[in-house]
Structure 1
Amino acid sequence: MIKILLTFWFFLLGSAVGSFLNVVIYRLPRRESIVFPPSHCPFCGHKLSAKDLIPILSYIILKGKCRYCGAKISSRYPIVEFLTAIFYALVFWLYGFSFSTLKLLILFSMLLPVFFIDLEHMLIPDVITIPGTGVGLIISLFEGRLAQGILGSLIFGGILLLIYVIALLILKEEGMGQGDIKLGFMLGSFLGIKLSLLSLFLSYFIGGLFSLLIILIKGKDLKTAIPFGPFLIIGALISLFFGKTLINLYLSLF
């Protein structure tokens, strides 16, 4: 019973964090402060009251519209709040009060804004990935695996950098954004060597399948720009939760 109540508390905590992450997602690409001014409607500029800022519920109660001007509110807001709430609750349910829980919650809280910002603006903010790499290395130090964090960062980011340089030399164009490379350095600092390699494979595999679907369904060509950051993030999260199982399953085939 206590664990259920604590899990619900983490759900509420996650929804509140998600509400803040929505501010980050909206303001960072616009180079606005994430602290000032207080939350307001992006259409009419009216300052939002506490009853307008209840995570998930406010969107439902207001039927997805601003209370003051009636403008439609993006569905991204409740989606981000719900995803964060579910992730926080799930991680606590699986790992309880542990360093692993803290690590996963910190990482997810940095990755979710990157996911949606890159999806919408094809931009990965340095203000998240560069400090994020430092955070990953500090966590690796506390875990007693600093060498793994450093090598993972160099391998993940280094391989993406190599692909970037090869694309420039051979195709005379960028094969990916520089933000993806910095994100790779950050992810590697959390993942270590083996999970970094697995994450890279999964990212390209999932990204390739998605690109193929886009080409088949929408008739786009191979040069259509598709943000790669979300696939790097998906690959990393799969590796964190299921990496050891996937690696052992692969090795059992031989």
Structure 2
Amino acid sequence: MDLTVLMWTLYCVMVLCIGSFSAAYTTRWPIKQDYLWTKEAHHLLSIPFTTSSPLMFNRRRSHCIHCEQPLTYKDLIPIFSFIALKGKCRYCKQRISSRYLVIEITHLLCCLPLLWLFDDVYSLTLITLLMSALITATVIDMEHKLIPDECNTVALGCGLLLNISANNLHNSVLGMMAGFVLLYTLRWLYTLCRDKEGIGLGDAKLLAALGSWLGLSHLPTLLFCASICGILYTVFSKTSSQDYIAFGPFLTISALLVFYLTL
């Protein structure tokens, strides 16, 4: 792919903007879900619920979580604003979480190699959005043991569209179906035998999305790598057998490895 400096710059800016949105989403989505679940629980128990709804992206500008001051464009430039402000709010001087910087850099590192692999804007855009959805889901799963349906839907849709353009839809659909059925069956068997949930439904949906992207033929390798990563993490982190471990990050990491190493 014959790249110009302008193309490089535009793509990097786009990826960083997507990464900035992803970082904000990983913060706001759990707050919104907690509100909705609490509201539903009060409704089921017929208990009055007066807490006001948290405002989401389309209702409120980005703001400092400490002083509530709305942020200007100078405060929101990915990576550069964080460095220029030395990791502190311009207004109240409280520290800004480094999660924003880490998520933005992660987007850049994961997506930059795509410029060498795809020579059309259609595929490049879809795979960039897919990777962003996976990174977003991974961060939320690591912190809250939850995988948003929104992230799985974006990844699934992009996976199907990529394979449609490559005339490989049958392999994509089979991968999607096999991925979901496999983990859902394991989840059902574990619940039946142990009388408790061992695999989240979000993991089954995530594997369906990854199957739609990578296809049926890569599912065994993907699951093997994810299982090995999970085992190594459990051993070296000395995690208790009673602790829940987020499996989504291992699925995502394995999917990225399979994708880049098998092209």
Moved more, 137-146 or 44-53: 137-146
Q: Which residue of 2 aligns with 1:248?
A: none
Question: Which ranges in structure 1 are unaligned for 5 or more consecutive residues?
Answer: 245-254
Q: Is the 8 A contact 1:7 1:93 kept in 2?
A: no
Distance in 1, matches of 2:226 and 2:97, equals: 27
1:1-254 alignment runs, 5 A limit: 2-31=3-32, 32-97=55-120, 99-215=122-238, 220-243=239-262
**Paired residue secondary structure (1:69):** coil
- Distance in 2, Cα, partners of 1:155 & 1:45: 46
Q: Is the 8 A contact 1:136 1:149 kept in 2?
A: yes
Distance 1:73 1:88 in 2: 25
State the alpha-carbon separation in 2 of the partners of residues 8 and 197 from structure 1.
37
What CA distance in whole angstroms lies between the structure 2 residues aligned with 1:2 and 1:128? 30
Paired residues, what number?
240
Alpha-carbon distance, 1:180 to partner? 0.9
CA distance in 1, matches of 2:258, 2:3: 30
Q: Distance in 2 between matches of 1:205 and 1:239?
A: 14
**CA displacement at 1:224 relative to structure 2:** 1.4
Q: Which 10-residue stretch deviates more, 134-143 or 164-173?
A: 134-143
> How far apart, in 1, do the equivalents of 2:72 and 2:157 lie?
36
Deviations 1:124-147 (A, max 9, x none): 111221353234223322221111
Counterpart CA distance in 1 for 2:120 and 2:160 is: 21
- Say if 1:203 and 1:232, in contact at 8 Å, map to a contact too: yes
- Structure 2 SS opposite 1:236: helix
TM-superposition CA deviations, 1:180-205 (whole Å, max 9, x none) = 11111111111101112211111111
**Aligned residue type for 1:72:** R
Q: Report the CA distance between 1:4 and its aligned residue.
A: 4.8
SS at 1:35's partner residue?
coil
CA distance in 2, matches of 1:134, 1:9: 24
Distance 1:134 1:89, change over 3 A: closer
Partner of 1:249: none
TM-score (norm 1): 0.87
For residue 22 of structure 1, report the CA deviation from its aligned partner.
1.3
Gaps of 5+ in 2: 33-54
Length-normalised TM-score, structure 2: 0.84
Q: C-alpha distance in 2, partners of 1:30/1:113?
A: 15
- Greater share of residues in helix: 1
CA–CA distance in structure 2, aligned partners of residues 93 and 7 of structure 1: 11
In the aligned structure 2, how far is the partner of 1:63 from the partner of 1:98? 35
* Structure 2 letter corresponding to 1:28: W
CA contact (8 A) 1:115 1:229 kept: yes
